[in-house]
Amino acid sequence: MRVLYRLVLFISVTVLMACQFSKTEPLPYLGPHRQVGDSTVYYRVDSFAFFNQDSQLVTAESLRGKVYVVDFFFISCPTICPVMTKHMKELYNLYKSDPRVVLLSFTLDPRHDTIPRLKRYAHKLGVSAPKWNFLYGKKEDIYATAPKFLISAAQEDDTDPLTIIHSGKFVLVDGEGHLRSYCDGTSKEEVYRLAEDIDRLLDEMTNEGHE
Amino acid sequence: MKGMNNQLGPIVLSISLILAFFTGCGERYPQGKALYEAQCAWCHMSDGTGLEGIYPSLVDREDLRQQLWRIPCAIRYGVYDSLRVGDDTFSLVMMGFPELTDAEVSNISNYIALSFLKLQEGPYNERAVVEMLKRCRSREDTFRLLKSKLQSQ
């Protein structure tokens, strides 16, 4: 029995230490890095500009200093979008009162998802900008933006006009435009893990503010 | 340590039995469940709760309990309550699934009745479903019209 107690003690201490460790460990920087002299330059999303459901321009610049979550969807999407939107709405509710967190949903079907329809959709869903932006723009611009978030470029399926194959990923971007985390937007567990990463980024921002 | 293992045996066994009971094995409409997961859960979600404001929840719906025909009708011919005159967005309506057979429609309906409406017995059999579907045959025209519009877009 002595051995057992020791074992239990050892395991608990290890687990406790691991937890402490993972809490203080900063989130990784995703994407290609570049070495310039002594410092590392991390990949960042530098430029994009789209209109939201209120016809306001949302740009990479205007989001500096915000932590934001990105996904790609379209209103009539018959497959993975509804559950992604449901999970986005949970993030919306979690960070309702924190203006540092912003959500972006780019429509992959701007021909049908016009600004008034996006507005109606957001209204029905019970959400609004500037917290949750449904972004509209030229189709080729939107399709060129997905790879900037290192999401596999969305493509239309030629065989069926009603389906667009696309990635169900949520991507987490920090206040400087660096990609810091991503998850499968169709999995509730993964989305809650992403929320923990959002909290870590917010902590990071708070700590930087104090320096 | 050996004693521990002997005690763990029955516990592990009962946990597995309980788990087996609550998942899969207790399922009375396995085909209905499989079809629901494959065709309906995208919008109404696996747990039937839908997406508030966009896709209606099917859980504990008294109106559906009172008007049982509405479930098979929704499956075969679709639901167009939110369609407005002059509106060309079909995003908030539900297109029907005319390719599902009467038996499949009845299995999905029973699955919904037991899992989400909390009925004790499945009220749908093929004959009842055929009768119920007569109530909403007029929706077929709407379905055809929308389908052709969607495809020409």
Pull the structure tokens for residue B97.
């699934």
Residue contact B53–A124, C-beta within 8 A: yes
- Partner-chain contact B43 A86, CB within 8 Å: no
Q: Which residues of A touch B7 (CB under 8 A)?
A: none
The one-letter amino acid code at A125 reads: L
B43 in contact with chain A, both atoms CB, cutoff 8 A: yes
Cα dihedral sign, A111-A113-A115-A120: positive
Residue A162: its pLDDT value, please?
43
Q: A107 CA to chain B: closest CA distance, Å?
A: 13
Place of tokens 């696996």: B46
- Closest by CA to A145, choosing from A189, A177, A121, A186, is A177
Could you please state the CATH topology (level 3) that the domain comprising B27-152 is classified under.
Answer: Cytochrome Bc1 Complex; Chain D, domain 2 (1.10.760)
DSSP H/E element including A103? strand A101-107
ipTM topping 0.85: no
Token pair, residue A149, equals 């978030």
Please indicate whether, in this complex, the C-beta atoms of A112 and B150 are within 8 angstroms of each other: no
Contact B42 A78 (CB under 8 A): yes
Q: Which of B4, B51, B92 sits opposite A86 (nearest CB)?
A: B51
Indicate if the pLDDT at residue B58 is higher than 80.
yes
Q: How many cross-chain Cβ pairs, A to B, lie less than 8 Å apart?
A: 47
Angstrom CA distances, A203 to A8, A181, A190, B146, stand at 32, 15, 20, 50
CB A188 within 8 A of CB A87: yes
Contact between A89 and B1 using a beta-carbon 8 Å cutoff: no
pTM: 0.81
Residues of A in contact with B54 (CB under 8 A): 82, 85, 121, 124-125
Per-residue model confidence as pLDDT tens digits over B70-110: 999 999 999 998 877 666 555 678 999 999 999 999 999 99
User: What tokens does B41 get?
Assistant: 């859960």
Q: Please state, in angstroms and rounded to a whole number, the distance separating the CA atoms of residues A186 and B46.
A: 12
Asked if B42 is an interface residue toward chain A (Cβ–Cβ < 8 A), one would say: yes
The C-alpha atoms of residue B153 and residue B149 are separated, in whole angstroms, by: 6
Q: State residue A167's pLDDT score.
A: 78
Contact A82 B54 (CB under 8 A): yes
Residuewise pLDDT in 10s, chain A (211 residues):
566 666 555 555 555 555 444 556 789 999 888 899 999 899 999 899 999 999 999 999 999 999 999 999 999 888 899 999 999 999 999 999 999 999 999 999 999 899 999 999 999 999 999 999 999 999 999 999 998 998 865 555 544 444 455 678 999 999 999 999 999 999 999 999 999 999 999 998 888 765 4
Average pLDDT over chain B reads: 86
Contact A106, A148 (CB under 8 A): no
Question: Tokens standing for B130?
Answer: 């055929």
Using CA atoms, how far apart are residues A120 and B20, in angstroms rounded to an integer?
44
Position B117 scores a pLDDT of 97
Contact status of B51 with chain A (Cβ, < 8 Å): yes
Map chain B to HEC letters.
Answer: CHHHHHHHHHHHHHHHHHHHHHCHHHCCCHHHHHHHHHHHHHHHCCCCCCECCCECCCCCCHHHHHCCCHHHHHHHHEECCCCCCCCCCCCCCEECCCCCCHHHHHHHHHHHHHHCCCCCCCCCCHHHHHHHHHHHCCHHHHHHHHHHHHHHC
Residue of B nearest to A117 (CA): B89
Pairing between β-strand A39-42 and β-strand A33-36 as defined by DSSP bridges: antiparallel
Domains of chain A: 33-208 (3.40.30.10)
Selecting from B1, B51, B151 the residue whose C-beta is nearest the C-beta of A85 gives: B51
- Measure CA A182 to chain center: 6
The minimum CA-CA distance between A74 and chain B, rounded to whole Å, is 10
Cα A103 to Cα A129: distance, rounded to the nearest angstrom: 9
Q: Do A75 and B153 touch (CB under 8 A)?
A: no
Question: Per residue in A163-193, pLDDT tens?
Answer: 455 678 999 999 999 999 999 999 999 999 9
DSSP class of A149: G
**B119 in A contact zone (CB under 8 Å):** no
Q: Which residue, B148, B122, B116, B140, is CA-closest to B45?
A: B116
